Chain A
Amino acid sequence: MPGLGMIRQDQRSGIYSLIKDVSLIVIGLKLTTVQNIIMSVAQAVGASMAIDHLVTAQTFISYRYVGKEGQVWTESLVWQTWFDTRSREVYKHYWGTYVCHNNFQRQATVDFLPPLHSWIRFDASPSYHNDSLIAHRAFDNWFHKRAWTVEYGY
């Protein structure tokens, strides 16, 4: 979403009692319901909902990029990076809007981010979980005077 660092995945709008069990895609095959989203939003806002009003529920994801560097202790007595492997963590966010008993429209974005929540998908690069391979690739690049290389999991 513009400026919020989030990418919209799915959306549903309608009268709450009619659509509360409708599923929305979070990512891939991971689903949630309109009810889950609106309840999370109402809990965050702290205002109870007037049931038979229009609600809108949306799912979003955001990314965090993590990496490991393979470094070599060179002749110049400094650590130099010769291999970089980058992976991506995917997190979910809910956004919803409802009408409360005071006849105010309430809306909120609820973040599911660390340390409270774990990622919902991890796009790992091929070598990410193999530290000795990362060290070997770094040494190989340095020994053969190749360029510093980067691999991605996304």
Chain B
Amino acid sequence: MVTSWRAISFSLLIVTAVVLLVFAVRGERSITSYYGTHETHVEDLRRLNTADHKNPSGAYKVALSVAIRRIDPKYSHLVFELLVKNPEVLMGNVRVLYLISERAHELLSASSLVVSNAMAEMPTTISPTGLLGIGVSRAFVLRPVIEFTRMQLLGVIAPIRASVTWVTPAGETVTDYYVFGASDLEMDESMDDYFAD
């Protein structure tokens, strides 16, 4: 009887050990979720994705540039800048919004691919005699992926959809929409250094 009780205890011990092994914690899950939605901005983004390229005003020039700034031998920032320049008239409350192609997530560590000056509490006015332009940038962290070429980089970041909203001297609010393909992007000199290495 004692022997069989011991056998039962031993069996229970074995079963417990197996069960404990089986109830291991499996893997680690990562959920990426960010706060920050705003109906007006969501609507602006929806318009960006549906609007055609149009610049009815023609009262200024735009340029979208891309640069790579090395932080250390392994890591870099990929910096986008949309420049609104050469205003022919006074442009009040200039607001810039642009959206990098969704595929850029392959190369960038980012919560969102939106670049905007929506956080500026003071409106920016540019004119031929005052501030001559406005540049709106974002420095994204570039993932240390194995290797990529300039063409592969351009292939994932374009097209970039943008809007420039401003108020005319007559008080009318104008929104111009742009779509920048890979060939429309201006490459900073830093790109040459980066891809030469």
Contacts and interface: CB of A to CB of B under 8 A. Distances in A.
Given A69-B27, A105-B124, A107-B134, A3 B38 contact: yes
Contact of A68 (B28, B115, B133): B28
B3 interface: no
B79 A131 contact: no
A103 B131 CA distance: 6
Contacts of A11: 121
A101 to B, nearest CB: 11
B5 interface: no
A97 B36 CA distance: 22
Contacts of B140: 111
Dominant SS among interface residues on chain A: strand
B112 A3 contact: yes
A114 B75 CA distance: 10
A98 to B, nearest CB: 10
A115 B120 contact: no
A16 interface: no
A69 to B, nearest CB: 6
Interface residues of B, number: 63
Contacts of A62: 34-36, 111
Contacts of B59: none
Given A68-B25, A113-B110, A113-B111, 20 more contacts: A1-B36, A2-B42, A3-B41, A6-B111, A7-B35, A13-B121, A56-B120, A62-B111, A67-B30, A69-B27, A99-B131, A103-B132, A104-B131, A105-B134, A106-B81, A107-B120, A110-B138, A116-B71, A116-B77, A131-B25
25 contacts: A3-B114, A3-B118, A5-B34, A5-B112, A44-B139, A46-B190, A56-B120, A62-B34, A63-B33, A65-B30, A69-B26, A71-B25, A71-B26, A79-B26, A105-B133, A106-B81, A106-B135, A110-B138, A111-B110, A113-B109, A114-B109, A115-B109, A135-B20, A138-B23, A139-B19
